[in-house]
A and B are shown apart, each in its own frame.
Chain A
C-alpha cells in the first residue's frame, strides 16, 4: 500500500497517549485495530498527518462483567468478544460478534475503534443503540460517560473531542428474562451489512415486554435506533402479530439507498423480515427465564 506520508507515534502508557492527544489532537488519528483506518489510508481517502498507535498501552484488553454491566476496554478485539463467556451476559452483543467482518478483521479490529469510527454500515453501533450502551471518554484532564445515543452524531462523526479517547464501552447485561439478537444480510463474509438489525428484549415477571431495543445498520445515514418500534412493544404481550407491527414500523422509519447491494425497496423489505425474525429470536431466549 502507498499511503500519503504520516508521522507515527507509539506511546507506552495511557498518560503519554492522552498527553499527545492534548497537545496535537487535531492532527492525530488513533490506530487501534486499523481495520477501517488503514484501508482508508491505502485508498488515500484518509491522510492523517500523525498516527498514534495505542496497541502498546498496557491493561486495555479486558472484558469485565460487574453488577449487571459488561465492560469492554479500548483494545478489546471483536474476536475477544466472540470467544468471551462474560460477553454472553448480553445476548445482542454475543450474537452480533461473529457477524462482524471476517475472522482476520475480527482478530485485529476493536469494538471501541469501530464505534469511534462510526461507519453507518458498522454493526457495533446498532448493537449498542439497541442495548443502551454508554462510553467512557478520557482526556488528560477529565473523564466523562456518554450515552451511545449522544455519542453517535452522524456518519463518521461522534462527539468525542480531539483530546479524548474512548477508553471503555459499557453494555447492560440482560436479566434472566432478557434476550437479544443480531440479524445481518451480507453478500459474503467480511462484507458490510446490506441490512443489519439489532434487537433486545427484557420481559417483566408477567411476560410482557418491559424494555425493547431495536436499531438498524446500513439503512440510514447513521445507525438508526427506532424508538417508535420500541414503544409499540413495551408494555405489550409478545406475539407474532406484535413483532410484525414493530417490524413494519422499523421498515417505514428507515431510509435506505439503492446501490449494488440492493434496491431501497428490497432493503426496506429485509428490515421488515429481519426485525420480525430478530424479535422472535430475542423472545425465544427471554421467555426461557419466565417461571
Chain B
C-alpha cells in the first residue's frame, strides 16, 4: 500500500474516524471529579503501610513486630510467616517466575516488602511500620548482571529448587550459522556496545488498592490501579484460591500506567489477604518513593550489536548479543513464548537475509519488573540498538546516514515482509516517511550549516531514527500471558432511543478511550459519538480482555469494536428491510441511514432501527440490538516513522540543546488526529527524558539512586524541545479499518534520534558511543577521551 491522505467519511455531528473530537473524559479530570483508587472511601476502611528492606541482599534472622503491634490504632501486623500460613508468602509473576509477597527467607532488593501494618489511619500505620525491627545478616549485593553471572557470585534465588546460577533465562532467535556465514563474507563489520539504562515508567498516580472482602458473602471487591483488570482477576483467583466469580476487580480512573500497572504487586495481595482475615476494607496507596524503588522498572539491557556490510553500503546481516538485568524476580509482563519480549524485532526497517539474536537475563539485587515502559515488550531497546548501529555503519562506510538508510530500507512492494527473526511486517513505506522528514527539516541546508559551524569551532549534530514498531498483540497462537491468549473484546448495546453503551476488555489510563472508541462506533453505525458511552475496567460489567499496554487497544479492542458494530449493522439491515418493506439486498447504507437503492427519500435511520429492534422486530428475529465480539487479530500491526533531531553541543561544557525535532509518524488510519498528536508529543518528551537525563542507578551497596523526583528526573515544559510533526498514512491491511497502534511509537523511536544527533556532532572527533542518559558530563568525558587518544 502507498501513503495516502485520510479524510473523515462522517460529518462532524456524527464524529467518526478522522475527527479531532475533544476528549470527553477531560471535563471530570480538569474539574477534579475523577474517581481514582485513592478517592475510594468505604465504611470501616483500614489503612496499610509497608515496612521495606533497607538493604539489597540479606538473610532475615528475625522480625520483631511487638513494638508496632502495641501502637494505639494498629489492628494487625502482617509478615511473610503469617502469609505462608495461607500459602500466600509467594506469588507467580507474569513471566512464570515466583516473587516473594512478604520476604520470609531473604531480602533480595532494597525496598523489598518485609511486613505490613494495618491500622485505623495511614499516619499510625506509617509510624508503626518504622517500629518493626528486623535482624539481617548482610550478603554480597549484586548490582550488575555481569557480576551476577560470575562463578563465585552468591546465589540470589536460593529459594528455587535445582537452580545453581543467577541466569534467569537464555533465549535466541534467527539463524546463527547463516549469520556467521554472512559475517565471514562481509567487507566490514560495524560494532556497537551500549547500555540502555534502567528507567521507570513513574505514572503520576502511584499504584494502590482498596481491597474489600465481605466475610458474609465471600465476595472480594478489589479497586486497583490495573491496566489489565480481567487478567488480574484470573491471577487473583489462582493466587488466593478464591472462586473467580466471587472476585470483582474494579480499575477506576487511572492516572497513567505506561506499563507500570501491568504487574500484580505484593501490596495488592497483602491488602487483600488482610481484608480477608480482618473482614474490613483495607486501603494501600504507594508513596512516590515506594513506586520508584519497588514497582516495575524498564529497560536495563546491555547490548552488543554487529552489522555486516558490503563496501557498496548494503547490510548483509545482523548479530546481537544481549544481557539483561532482571532484578530479583523475573517479572517481565510479556508473551510467554518470548523470553526477551519482542526484542528480536531488532532487525528494524531494513532488508537483509539473516540475523541472529542471542539473549540472556540475570538476576540481580534490584527491584523486579522489566515492564515495557510505553513500549511493546522491549521493542524500544531493539529500535534503539539498530538505529544507533546503522548510523555508525554509515560513518564507517563514509556514507550519509540518510543515504545509507534509503539504500537498505524494506521496499513497499516487499510487504507483507518476512523478517529474518520471524516477524511478518504488515505494511510500510519507510522511504516516504524519511523523505518527508528530510523535507521538513531541510536536510541539505542543515548539513551545510553543520559543516559551516564546524569550521567556526561549533558543534552541530543531526540524528535520524527510522524506526519500525510491532504492536497490537496477539494473535493468540503466538502471543499469550500465562496461557491467556492475547485477544480482546467489545460488547455493544444500542438502546431503544438509539443511544449506545460500549463495554471493553481494555482499560484506558489516559489514552482517551472514552473519546476514540465512541468514534469507531460512530464511523461504523452512524450513531453520533456523543451518544455512545464507554465502560471499562469493571470485571463484573465488561467482557474479558487482556488489557491496555503494548499499544494494543486500538489494534485489538478497536478491531473488536468495529467488528461488533458491523455485526449490529447487519442485523439492523434486516430490521430496516422490515420497516421499509423492502428486500435486504435492495438496501444501501449511508452514514447512519438505510435506504432503498436509488431512493434516498425512503430511508430509516439507525435510531429508527434501534427503536424497532425493541418495539417492532421482524417476525422470527431475536429482539434487541446488542452483541459481543472477541477479536483475535491475524497479525501484529507495524507502525513506523522517521525522526530527525538537530542539536547544538557546547564544546566546552558538553551541554546540548535540541534545535529541531521533526517527527513523521505513520500509524495507518487515525481515529482522532488530535489524540494521536498528543500521544506523539508525550512519547517524544519521554524519549528526550531517557536520552538526556532519566535513569535509575544503584550504588555498589545496591542502594537505589533515583528514589524520588529530585533524583529521578522528569523533564518539564522548560527542557522539552519543540516538536514539529508530520505524517504519512499507510493503512494496516488486516485491521478492520486500517489502524495501527501509536501510543508508544515516539518513546520507541525518539531516543536513538536524540543520541544519534549528539554522536553526529562529535563523530569527526572519533566518538561513536555515549551511553544514555547523554548528560553533559558524559559528553565532555567522551570528547576528552577522543582528544587524548
Point out residues on A near B: beta carbons under 8 Å: 1-2, 4-5, 39, 43-44, 102, 185, 187-192, 194, 260-263, 266-267, 269-270, 273-274
Question: Can you give 13 A-B contacts (C-beta < 8 A)?
Answer: A2-B122, A2-B287, A43-B708, A185-B653, A187-B713, A188-B714, A188-B716, A191-B710, A261-B777, A262-B775, A263-B777, A266-B776, A267-B777
Give min CB distance, A37 to chain B, whole Å.
Answer: 14
A262 to B778, CA, bound (A): 8
Taking residues whose C-beta sits less than 8 angstroms from the other chain, chain B's interface range is 20 to 34
* Besides the known contacts A2-B126, A185-B776, A270-B653, 17 further A-B residue pairs in the complex with CB atoms under 8 A apart: A1-B287, A2-B49, A2-B122, A39-B710, A44-B130, A185-B655, A187-B693, A188-B693, A188-B714, A188-B716, A194-B777, A260-B697, A261-B777, A262-B777, A266-B780, A267-B777, A269-B780
Using CB atoms, name the residue of chain B closest to A104: B716
Residues on B with C-beta less than 8 A from A267 are 777
B222-269 interface (Cβ within 8 A of A): none
Residue of B nearest to A273 (CB): B652
With a cutoff of 8 Å between Cβ atoms, the chain B residues found around residue A185 in the complex are: 653, 655, 776
Closest chain A CB from B408 CB (angstroms) = 36
Cβ-defined contact, B776 with A191, below 8 A: no
- Cα A187 to Cα B712 in complex, Å, equals 11
Q: Which residue of A lies closest to B706 (CB)?
A: A260
Chain A residues, CB < 8 A from B127: 4-5
B705 within 8 A of A: yes
Q: Which 8 A-B pairs have the closest CB atoms?
A: A262-B777, A2-B126, A266-B777, A189-B718, A273-B652, A188-B713, A188-B719, A187-B693
Tell me the smallest distance from the CB of B698 to a CB of chain A, in Å.
Answer: 11
Q: Residue of A at shortest CB range from B719?
A: A188
- Residues on B with beta carbons closer than 8 Å to the beta carbon of A191: 710, 713
Across the interface, which residues of A come within 8 angstroms of B122, CB to CB? 2
Q: Which residues of B contact A39 (CB under 8 A)?
A: 710
Q: Name the B residues within 8 Å of A261 (CB-CB).
A: 775, 777
A2 to B777, CA, bound (A): 36
Q: Are B776 and A189 in contact (CB under 8 A)?
A: no
Residue of A nearest to B705 (CB): A260
Nearest to B129 among chain A residues (CB) is A2
Chain B nearest CB from A65 CB (Å) reads 30
- Does B781 reach chain A (CB closer than 8 Å)? yes
How many angstroms from the CA of A39 to the CA of B710 in the assembled complex?
10
| Most chain A CB inside 10 Å of its own CB: which residue of B653, B775, B777, B781 | B777
Closest to B689 in A: A188
A274-B653 Cα distance, complex, nearest whole Å:
9
Are B653 and A189 in contact, CB atoms less than 8 angstroms apart?
Answer: no
A273 to B653, CA, bound (A): 7
Interface presence of B711 (CB below 8 A): yes
Question: Chain A residues near B693 (CB, 8 Å)?
Answer: 187-188
| B171 contacts the other chain (CB 8 A) | no
B715 within 8 A of A: yes
* Chain A residues whose C-beta falls within 8 Å of the C-beta of B287 in the assembled complex: 1-2
User: CB within 8 Å of A: which residues of B?
Assistant: 49, 122-123, 126-127, 130, 287, 289, 652-655, 693, 697, 705, 708, 710-711, 713-716, 718-719, 775-777, 780-781
Question: Inside 8 A of B653's CB, which chain A residues have their CB?
Answer: 185, 270, 273-274
Distance, CA A43 to CA B289, complexed state (A): 9
User: Which residues of B are found within 8 Å of A44, using beta-carbon distances?
Assistant: 130
CB distance from A119 to the nearest CB of B (A): 12
Tell me if A262 and B776 are in contact (CB < 8 A): yes
Question: A260, B776: Cβ atoms under 8 Å?
Answer: no
The answer to whether B710 and A266 have CB atoms under 8 Å apart is no
- Tell whether, in the assembled complex, residue B716 and residue A102 are in contact, meaning their CB atoms are under 8 Å apart: yes
Q: Which residue of the partner chain B has the closest CB to A260?
A: B705
Residue contact A189 to B123, C-beta cutoff 8 Å:
no
Q: How far is the CA of A13 from the CA of B711 in the complex (A)?
A: 38
Q: State the Cβ distance, B208 to closest chain A Cβ, in Å.
A: 14
Alpha-carbon separation in the docked complex, A192 to B709 (Å): 12
| Distance in Å: Cβ of B648 to nearest Cβ of chain A | 16
Cα–Cα distance between A269 and B787 once the two chains are bound (Å): 15
For residue A194, which residues in chain B have a CB less than 8 angstroms away from its CB? 776-777
Please give, as numbers and ranges, the residues of chain A lying within 8 Å of B711 by CB-CB distance.
Answer: 260
Contacts of A269 in B (CB 8 A): 780
* Minimal beta-carbon separation of A156 from chain B (angstroms): 16
In the assembled complex, the CB of A193 is this many whole angstroms from the nearest CB of chain B, namely 13
Return chain B residues, CB-CB under 8 Å to A102. 716, 718
CB distance from B692 to the nearest CB of A (A): 8
Report the separation of the CA atoms of residues A14 and B606 in the bound assembly, to the nearest whole angstrom.
73
In the bound complex, how far is the Cα of B655 from the Cα of A1, in angstroms?
Answer: 35
Q: Knowing A5-B127, A189-B719 touch, does A263 contact B705 (C-beta < 8 A)? A: no
A266 to B653, CA, bound (A): 9
Contact at A189–B716, with CB atoms within 8 Å? yes
Asked whether B123 lies within 8 Å of A2 as measured between CB atoms, the reply is: yes
For A39, A102, A262, which residue has the most chain B Cβ atoms within 10 angstroms?
A262
When chains A and B are docked, how far (Å) is the Cα of A44 from the Cα of B714?
23
Max chain B Cβ within 10 angstroms of own Cβ: one of A1, A263, A266: A266
Given A39-B710, A270-B653, A263 and B781 contact (CB-CB distance below 8 Å): yes
Write the chain A residue with the least CB distance to B709: A190
Q: Which residues of A contact B708 (CB under 8 A)?
A: 43
* CA gap between A266 and B782 in the complex, in Å: 11
Task: Tell me which residues across on chain B come within 8 A of A273, comparing CB atoms.
Answer: 652-653
Residues of B within 8 A of A4 (CB): 127
- Please measure, in the bound complex, the distance between the C-alpha atom of A265 and the C-alpha atom of B377, giving whole angstroms: 39
CB distance from B126 to the nearest CB of A (A): 4
Q: List the A side residues contacting B776 at CB < 8 Å.
A: 185, 194, 262, 266
Provide the residues of chain A in CB contact with B126, threshold 8 Å: 2
- Residue of A at shortest CB range from B718? A189
Write the nearest CB–CB distance from B183 to chain A, whole angstroms: 37
Q: Identify the interface centre among B122, B287, B652: most chain A CB within 10 Å of its CB.
A: B652
Note all chain B residues with C-beta closer than 8 A to A187: 693, 713, 775
CA distance A269 to B718 in the complex (A): 26
Known contacts: A2-B122, A187-B775. The answer to whether A266 contacts B781 by CB under 8 A is: yes
> Which residue on chain A has the smallest CB distance to residue B779?
A266
Nearest-Cβ distance from residue B205 to partner chain A, whole angstroms = 16
Complex: how many Å from CA A194 to CA B693?
13
CB distance from A138 to the nearest CB of B (A): 32
Q: How far is the CB of B51 from chain A (nearest CB, A)?
A: 13
- How far, in angstroms, from A269 to B650 measured CA to CA in the complex? 13
Residue of A nearest to B716 (CB): A189
Contacts of B718 in A (CB 8 A): 102, 188-189
B124 to chain A, nearest CB (A): 10
With a cutoff of 8 Å between Cβ atoms, the chain B residues found around residue A262 in the complex are 775-777
Q: Which residue of A lies closest to B289 (CB)?
A: A43
Measured between beta carbons, the chain A residues less than 8 angstroms from B697 are 260
B130: chain A residues within 8 A (beta carbon): 44
How far does the Cβ of B775 sit from chain A's closest Cβ, in whole Å?
7
Could you tell me the distance in whole angstroms from the C-beta of B681 to the nearest C-beta in chain A? 18
Which residue, A188, A189, A261, A270, has most C-beta atoms of chain B within 10 A? Answer: A188
**Contact residues in B for A263 (Cβ distance below 8 Å):** 777, 781
Shortest A2–chain B CB gap in Å is 4
| Residues of chain B within 8 A of A189, CB atoms compared | 716, 718-719
- Within the complex, the shortest CB–CB distance from A36 to chain B, in Å, comes to 11
Question: For residue B713, which residue of chain A has the nearest CB?
Answer: A188
Q: Which residues of B contact A190 (CB under 8 A)?
A: 716
C-alpha gap A261/B693 in the complex (Å)? 10
Instruction: Report Cα–Cα, A189/B123, bound state, in Å.
Output: 32
User: What is the bound-complex CA distance between A189 and B717, given in angstroms?
Assistant: 9
Taken together as a complex, chains A and B put the C-alpha atoms of A194 and B777 apart, in Å, by 10
CB distance from A223 to the nearest CB of B (A): 19
Task: Report the Cα distance A273→B776, complex, angstroms.
Answer: 13
- Tell me how far the C-beta of A183 lies from the nearest C-beta in chain B, rounded to whole angstroms: 10
How far is it, in angstroms, between the C-alpha of A274 and the C-alpha of B654 when the chains are bound? Answer: 12
Chain A residues with Cβ under 8 A from B775's Cβ?
187, 261-262
Please indicate the chain B residues that have their CB under 8 angstroms from the CB of A5 in the complex: 123, 127
For the complex, what is the distance from the CA of A260 to the CA of B712, rounded to whole Å? 11
A197→B252 CA distance, assembly (Å)? 49
Residue with the highest number of chain B CB atoms closer than 10 Å, among A5, A260, A267, A269: A260
Shortest distance between the CB of A87 and any CB in chain B (Å) = 22
